[in-house]
Amino acid sequence: MIRAEHLTMIYGKDFKAVEDLSFSIGKGEIVGFAGPNGAGKTTVIKMLTGILRPAEGRALINGFDIQKEPLKAKASFAYVADNPDVLLQLKGVEYINFIADIYKVPDEERKARVPELAERFGILDALDTPMREYSHGMRQKLMVIAALTHNPPAWILDEPMTGLDPSAAYELKQMMREHAAKGNCVLFSTHVLEVAEKLCDHILIMNHGHSLYQGTVDELSAAHPGKDLEEIFLSMIDHRSTQEEEK
C-alpha cells in the first residue's frame, strides 16, 4: 500500500539527504519510521506525499505513482505534516471543513466523524476558536482530525506525537491500531524509538539518509541480546556517525 523504490533526494548541488531508500508497507501494518533529527525522515515523507520530486526512484501509494497519478494517489492517503502552524487565522472547524472540501467528504460523514474525533482528542469545545489562539498541541490535534476526516486507506504521519499530551497520544495510538486492524496501513515517523517499540511490529531506522534497519522489533532485539531498544538504536547511530567522520 505504501512503497518506496530507490528514493534519492538531493538538496542544493550535491547534498544527498536521502540515498537509495526502499521499503514497503502492506495492509494491516503500522510501521514506525525512526531516526534522529536530520536523518532524512521528513524528506522521505515529502517524496512519498508528492511535495518533493525525488532525484531518483519512485513512490507508490495504494498502487498509484505519486508523480504520475498524483490526484489518485493523494485521494488515497491522509497526511499530517511535521509543522501544524498553518492557516492560523481560521477557526478549527473552518480548517477541518476546508480540508474536507478538498477531499469531497460528504456532509453526513463530516457530521458523524468530526465531533467523534474532536471528542477523542478533547478539543470539541475549541473548534469555534481561531487556531492562532491554540497551543502547539491543540494545533497538532486539529491537523490530525482534519487529515483523518476523509478516512483514506493509508495514513502518513510526520512526528504526530510531538506536542500531544499523554491522553491525546494514547488516543492517536489507539486510532492507528484500529485503522491498521481494518486492513489499512500507517507510516509514522518519530525520533523517539520508544513510541515505535510499543506500537509497531515493523520499524525502519534511518540515519544520514540511509536505512540502518528494516524489520521487526523482535528480530532487532534478538540480534542484540541484553540491550534495550534505545541502547541498540543509539549504538547503531553512533556507529554510523563514527564511520562518516572517518571518511
Ligand X SMILES: Nc1ncnc2c1ncn2[C@@H]1O[C@H](COP(=O)(O)OP(=O)(O)O)[C@@H](O)[C@H]1O
Closest CB 158 distance from Mg ion, rounded Å: 6
Q: Are strands 15-25 and 64-65 parallel, antiparallel or unpaired?
A: unpaired
Provide the residue type at 145 as one letter: I
Please pick, from the candidates 1, 4, 7, 17, the single residue that binds ligand X as defined by CB under 6 A: 17
The entry of Mg ion, ligand X, none that residue 204 binds, CB within 5 to 8 Å by partner kind: none
Q: How far is the CB of 246 from Mg ion (least distance, A)?
A: 26
Interface contacts to Mg ion, rule CB under 5 A: 41-42, 82
Q: Of these partners, Mg ion, ligand X, none, which one is at the site of residue 37 (CB under 5 to 8 Å by kind)?
A: ligand X
Q: Are 37 and 241 in contact (CB under 8 A)?
A: no
Query: What is the footprint of ligand X within residues 26-65 (CB under 6 A)?
Result: 35, 37-43
Q: Which is nearer to ligand X, 37 or 89 (CB)?
A: 37
| Residue whose C-beta lies closest to Mg ion | 42
Minimum CB distance to ligand X, residue 158 (Å): 7
Partner touching 17 among Mg ion, ligand X, none, CB below 5 to 8 Å by kind: ligand X
**By the rule CB under 6 A, 11 interacts with ligand X:** yes
> Which residue type does 175 have?
M
Q: Give me the DSSP letters along 67-105.
A: TTSHHHHHHTEEEE-S---SSTTSBHHHHHHHHHHHTT-
152-174 burial, b for 16+ CB within 10 Å, e for fewer?
A: bbbbbbbbbbbbbeeebbebbbe
Closest distance to ligand X from the beta carbon of 47 (Å): 10
Which of ligand X, Mg ion, none does residue 114 bind to, with CB < 5 to 8 Å depending on kind?
Answer: none
Helix 92-102 vs helix 107-120: crossing angle, to nearest 10: 130
| Distance from C-alpha of 229 to C-alpha of 235, rounded to nearest angstrom | 10
User: Cα–Cα distance between 66 and 54 in angstroms, integer?
Assistant: 11
Q: Residues interacting with ligand X, by CB under 6 A?
A: 11-12, 17, 35, 37-43
